[in-house]
Amino acid sequence: MRLRHGKKLCPNCLGPLKPATFISGWLVPEEYLCEACGYVGHVSLEASNNQEAPATGKDDSKGLGA
């Protein structure tokens, strides 16, 4: 069974991340590099493969029940 992971995103600018070194995650802890903003670190966000509508914060009940 193969696990599918989403795309790694920068926590600062949401740009795509790439491994900081070629041994990252193998010999040393996973470290990422963002070429857009210069972020280097261990923290990353992972994009979901599910395409859902973003939450707008508005009440979408449209008068149901009230």
Q: Read off the pTM.
A: 0.61
pLDDT of res. 53: 43
N- to C-terminal Cα distance for the chain? 48
pLDDT of res. 2: 47
Of residues 13 and 25, the one with the higher pLDDT is 13
Give the list of residues 6+ apart from residue 14 with CB closer than 8 angstroms, or none: 45
Domain regions of the chain by residue span: 7-48
pLDDT of res. 4: 59
Q: Could you report the per-residue pLDDT of 21-56, keeping only the tens digit for each?
A: 888 777 788 999 999 999 999 999 998 866 554 455
